[in-house]
Amino acid sequence: MIVQWYPGHMQKAKREILELNKYVDLYLILLDARAPLSSRNEQLESLIKDKPKIFLLNKADLADEKKNNQFLKYFESINQRALCVDCLKGTNVKNIFKIAENLLKDRIEEARQKGRRKIIRFGVLGIPNVGKSTLINKITNSSKAKTGDKPGVTKSKQWIKINDYFEMLDTPGILVPKLEDDMVAIKLCAIGSIKDELYDKELVAKKTIEIIKKDYCELLNKKYSLDFLNMSEDEYLIEIGKKRGCVLKEGKIDTLKAANLFLEDLRKAKIGRITLDEIRDR
């Protein structure tokens, strides 16, 4: 198994979601657009049962634009509302409220007829480091929710008032208890959803190159001036290390440093806009 990570606060968060589910009108489920299927936690979704949901494909600016559209059509095909967003820049964030009001229009109208104003309470869910707190901060134009560039920053629930009509609940990122599918684990490690110290970076870097070279070999070749198509898995980091000057004193290539450089390039889209998942993965 590539990684197994299930901190105690995540088990606690599952209990809290069950307790607070009755107060939530609609859930925003954040996915990483670079791996929308791998970053989806259907076990978590089972906790919220039949509550309305909007799937937000965050970091869409880092993902393959063509595949972004394919995934939007995929969610439409399974009768789920989905939206590509960039929570950091705020791209498409305002459209969340329009969709939410449409999904809950009957309850809003029922409250209006009774002379009351319906306050829509969002639950914000997703795996670690997918951008939940960043979304809340963008919507509220503040730093009410803690953020960080490492997974696991949010450790407890926070109810946050947006305005007179909307409130949001931020929760810790929850992974499934066991990442039994190694390919899923590799993808989540590659995009930064799992703490770096909990997996073998060299292994993840090599396996990730294997995944992306099928569709993005030209981007890899251009970025590193190498012919990845005709290279073996054992050669990837050695050749990247040579190109990037990752040489130890004794002349040996520092493949760990090369792996770190590659993962940084991937996460910051320095190689290009790349999506690791495909629809047929399901």
pLDDT, one tens digit for every residue, the chain (282 residues): 567 655 666 677 777 778 888 889 999 999 999 999 999 988 778 888 789 999 999 999 999 999 999 999 999 999 999 999 999 999 999 999 999 999 999 988 998 898 888 888 888 888 888 988 888 888 877 645 444 454 544 555 667 888 888 888 776 667 765 567 889 999 999 999 888 888 999 999 999 999 999 999 999 999 999 999 999 999 999 999 999 999 998 889 999 999 999 999 999 999 999 999 998 644
Does residue 157 sit in the same domain as residue 226? no
Q: Among 122, 153, 169, identify where a domain stops.
A: 169
Does residue 138 sit in the same domain as residue 255? no
Residue-level pLDDT at 156: 54
CATH number, domain at 72?
3.40.50.300
| CA atoms of 85 and 257, how far apart (whole Å) | 32
Residue-level pLDDT at 8: 64
173 among the known binding-site residues? yes
275 among the known binding-site residues? no
58 among the known binding-site residues? yes
59 among the known binding-site residues? yes
* Residue 174: inside a domain: no
Does residue 207 sit in the same domain as residue 158? no
Does residue 127 sit in the same domain as residue 241? no
21 among the known binding-site residues? no
Does residue 34 sit in the same domain as residue 95? yes
* Residue 183: inside a domain: no
241 among the known binding-site residues? no
Does residue 125 sit in the same domain as residue 25? yes
232 among the known binding-site residues? no
Residue type, 122: F
* Residue 231: inside a domain: yes
268 among the known binding-site residues? no
* Residue 27: inside a domain: yes
Number of domains within the chain: 2
Does residue 106 sit in the same domain as residue 153? yes
Does residue 204 sit in the same domain as residue 148? no
152 among the known binding-site residues? no
| CA atoms of 142 and 199, how far apart (whole Å) | 34
- Which stretches within the chain are classed as H helix? 8-20, 42-45, 65-77, 95-103, 105-113, 132-140, 182-191, 201-224, 236-243, 255-267
Residue 40's domain spans which residues? 7-169
Does residue 208 sit in the same domain as residue 122? no
* Residue 178: inside a domain: no
> Burial code of 63-79, b = ≥16 C-beta within 10 A, e = fewer?
bbeebbeebbebbeeee
Residue-level pLDDT at 161: 81
pTM for this prediction? 0.88
Q: Among 120, 148, 169, identify where a domain stops.
A: 169
137 among the known binding-site residues? no
Does residue 144 sit in the same domain as residue 206? no
What is the sign, positive or negative, of the torsion defined by CA atoms of 216, 218, 220, 222?
Answer: negative
Does residue 84 sit in the same domain as residue 208? no
CATH number, domain at 223?
1.10.1580.10
Does residue 121 sit in the same domain as residue 209? no
> Burial code of 259-268, b = ≥16 C-beta within 10 A, e = fewer?
bbbbbebbbe
